[in-house]
A and B are shown apart, each in its own frame.
Chain A
Amino acid sequence: MNVSYDSRLLFRHEGPLDMEVLPLLVHNLEGILQREGARPPLRRKVVTCLIELAQNIIHYAVHKENYPPLLMVSRRNDKGFILLTRNLVHYSQELFLQNYLHNLTQMPRAELENLHYSTLTEGSYSDSGGAGLGLIQVLFKADQFEYEFVPADGEYSWFSVKATFLS
């Protein structure tokens, strides 16, 4: 998955990702978006979606040497920002995510909104304390959402998410 040539790279982290690193990335990205003149609602969308995707990577991604996760934010002309993440997943996770994201991306906005609200108010927590809302939130907040799986090594694939947020 590529970010087109008419966009400008603002932020890139490719390497180990944990809860020690994440606050530094959030702080850096917040500063960059402020300097880019992004207003608070847009900044909040980009940063909170980065937090959700990064915490998904921390909790669920396969961590293998030479296959580090990637987080990137680019400026999309003057019309917004593109957040791209990439991480390694096992084949079994790919099957789950393919099905889950296929269903989510087919939902009309109103249905997605209902799912977001019902998961918030009635859903349960995962073992890692997650609310099952992360990807729903990213889909809900982003103006465009794409994802793909690319074979990486044997039973593993790269899972990429590209979320575009318009000004």
Chain B
Amino acid sequence: MSDLTTSEKLIIEPTFTTPEIKFDPQARHFFIGGNSYPENSLKFYGPVLQWVQNWSERHVPIPEPIVVEVRLEYFNTSTAKVLLDLFRLFEVLHEKGQALQIRWIYLEEDTEMEDAGLDYQAAVRVPFELVPVNE
């Protein structure tokens, strides 16, 4: 993943233990979905965080909102922590004047995922929507 920090899009294919990542600034759409319990979350997400950091430093706020969608199945606690670091990078972007929304998508009856979303909603100062879905 050495060239991630200079590419315009960030696309990582999913594995059994790592999520699909599609960050497309031109489409103003950032997506993380699937399972996330890598052996070392920092090792997996470190370049991802660095990519977002580099991109956001270059980014000039635009009127159109950026949407960050997260739809995870199973994720471990170290992923939970890295996600917060990621959301905080988006928080900085939002503080710079970029309209932005994080959408936490979860199965409607999955109250565990709803609770996890509520924790993030309380921890970051950025519009954070909980989005229950049926399937």
Contacts and interface: CB of A to CB of B under 8 A. Distances in A.
Contact of B76 (A52, A120, A136, A141): A52
A45 B37 CA distance: 15
Interface stretch (A84-92, A98-106, A125-133, A147-155): A125-133
A123 B84 CA distance: 11
Interface stretch (A3-11, A19-27, A64-72): A19-27
Interface stretch (B1-9, B22-30, B91-99, B110-118): B110-118
A44 B77 contact: no
B111 A52 contact: no
Interface string B93-125: 000000000000001011111000001000100
Report the contact-size class of chain B (Cβ under 8 Å from the partner): 20 to 34
Contact of B81 (A22, A40, A128, A131): A131
A22 B17 contact: yes
B37 A40 contact: no
B111 A125 contact: no
B58 interface: no
B40 A129 contact: yes
Interface in A11-43: 19, 22-23, 26-27, 39-41
Interface string B36-67: 01111111000000000000000000000000
Interface residues of A, number: 30
Contacts of A61: none
Contacts of A120: 77, 80-81, 84, 119, 123
B93 to A, nearest CB: 19
Contacts of A137: 77
Given A19-B39, A44-B110, A51-B37, A133 B16 contact: no
A138 to B, nearest CB: 10
Contacts of A48: 74-76, 112
Nearest to A30: B74
Contacts of B75: 48
A45, A55, A58 interface centre (most CB from chain B within 10 Å): A55
Given A23-B17, A41-B110, A129 B77 contact: no
Contact of A125 (B81, B119, B123): B81
B109 to A, nearest CB: 6
A136 B78 CA distance: 12
B125 to A, nearest CB: 12
B123 A121 contact: yes
A41 B17 CA distance: 20
Closest 7 CB pairs of A and B: A23-B16, A133-B77, A129-B40, A129-B42, A131-B81, A40-B110, A131-B78
Given A51-B37, A130-B77, A131-B81, 4 more contacts: A19-B17, A23-B35, A51-B74, A130-B78
